[in-house]
Amino acid sequence: MIHLRNVSYAYEGCEALCAIDLDISRGESVAFIGPNGSGKSTLLKLLNAIVLPDNGSYVFDGESVTRTSLKDQTFARSFHQRIGFLFQNPEAQLFCPSVEEEISFGPRQMGCAEEVVAGRIEDCLKLLDIAHLAKRPPWHLSGGEKRKVALASILALNPEVLVLDEPMNDLDPRTKRFLRELILSLHGAGKTIICATHDFRYVEGVFKRAVVFSEDHRIIREGAYDEVTSDEVFLASDNLI
Amino acid sequence: MTPEWLLKNEAYTPRLDRDAFIDKSIRTFLSLLSRIRSRTGGAQRKAFIDARVKLVSLLLLILLTSLSHRLLFVGLCGTIVLVTLSLSRGEVILDILKTAFAVAGFTFVIFLPSIFWGNLVGAVMVTAKVLICVAVARFLSATTEWRTLTRALGAFRIPDLLILVLDVTLRYITLLGALSLDMLYALKLRSVGKNRDKTGSLSGIAGTIFLKSRVMAEDTYAAMECRCFTGTYRAGRLPALRLTDALVLAADVAFVCAFGFLGA
């Protein structure tokens, strides 16, 4: 479903990704692991076409994602509907006056009937266990609640691929466990999950594959998640434990 | 339990909508942040001329250009500005001249009626003065790291606390700019169809940024208090002047003399 070939990207001359080759199939659950500044978040942005490769190619479900292809509104919007992105800082994703409106923003844009929108709001509130927050302004919520609302607002679009950037950051253990179960059930529902993480303990059993980044912004290892995360010598050498 | 609609793929054909405003806003913020980073990054080469000397020379040039009544002296100032600009990189020169000519052009248009009444020299003089002053101010801003520029204000007896406020302001423009950019990206990613309330989305972003700035200001104040801030602040000082700075100051003196002979 996702194919990256020899992808490189630099921020104003500062290298962030170097010669990345990666294939992700439909329905996979993949964890990106790597030290701070290794390029995980940049790759997630690239998968969502927030940034585009300086070199190399990105193909999503058989279609090249390029500056030119994104100028085609139909392609760009369909692409953004099919791939949902939870930012590392969920605060940046919340711009509506209430949680309810935040969740309804996407479905309303898609032209869903009002009863469908109402149904999705209710389902997402229930799924994320935030029904009691429906009328609250997102700004006044706690960090964990904001993350749940941001995730709900993405799920309301029903994307096929969920891209999560450090979803366990700043969460208390109970919320981490809740989020772990939720990711598992979304994966069970057929969603492709791509997630950058440091938090090995709370994502145990969630991912089938791990992709490891080095400090020089390259992929240095790919393999079964359990196998990679149990190789303590390797993790220590890459500044991961 | 996972709702049924989440188990199926969405059969969705996007409707067309005009959303150039998001892309334009993103481009504006990217360019703003890139400019700020390039002038506050700290990875720049060591400055050839001290910021204090640059500031003195800039103020002298603006003051004497404005005071002069002689086209010859204004021409000399223009020549000095051109020679100074020629020491910069091509893109910096282009950037400076674009702004300077835009402002000067606007000034000239304002003076058009006076030209029709026969005041051609006056209109040309004022336009040239504006061109010189804007170019030299943009040159200072483009070639001096902003942090050293705020430090240089200390040489003019500007209170340290005001320098701190300027430094904090620059930092928060960067931080809040980055947050605004992320929010615009989030809006773009979720703009998958027809948005009937585009202004509502943008005002939501503006409101969030406003609230965030208030929280950040409170947090900064609390952090300063925790580090024993009692209302006084001593800004870091710039290093001693060097030979090149002395040469520029000597040129400034020569420039003042030239004003005495040619300009007054």
The answer to whether B176 contacts chain A (CB < 8 Å) is: no
User: Residues with Cβ < 8 Å from B17, sequence gap 6 or more?
Assistant: A73, B191, B193, B194, B195
- Tell whether the model's pLDDT for residue B149 goes beyond 60: yes
Asked if B83 and B135 touch (Cβ cutoff 8 Å), the reply is: no
User: Tens-of-pLDDT digits for all 241 residues of chain A?
Assistant: 899 999 999 987 788 999 999 999 999 999 999 888 889 999 999 999 999 999 999 999 999 999 999 888 889 889 999 999 999 888 888 988 899 999 999 898 888 889 999 999 999 999 888 999 999 988 888 888 999 999 999 999 999 999 999 988 878 888 888 888 889 989 988 899 999 987 777 778 889 999 999 988 999 999 999 888 888 888 887 777 7
Q: Chain A interface, mutation test: which of B4, B10, B203, most A Cβ atoms within 10 Å? A: B10
**Amino acid identity at A182:** L
**Amino acid identity at A4:** L
Asked if A123 and A91 touch (Cβ cutoff 8 Å), the reply is: no
The end-to-end CA distance of chain A, in Å, is 31
Q: What is the dihedral of CA A175, A179, A185, A187, to 10 degrees?
A: -170
Q: Give strand ranges (E) for A131-178.
A: 161-165
Asked if B38 and B92 touch (Cβ cutoff 8 Å), the reply is: no
Q: Which residues from B are below 8 Å from A80, CB to CB?
A: 188-192
Q: Is the ipTM of this complex over 0.90?
A: no
Q: What is the mean pLDDT of residues B50-61?
A: 89
Residue B39: predicted pLDDT: 67
For residue A10, the SS3 value is strand
Q: Which residues from B are below 8 Å from A123, CB to CB?
A: 3, 5-6
Residue among B198, B235, B228 nearest B52 (CA): B235
Residue B30: predicted pLDDT: 84
Place of tokens 């979803």: A167
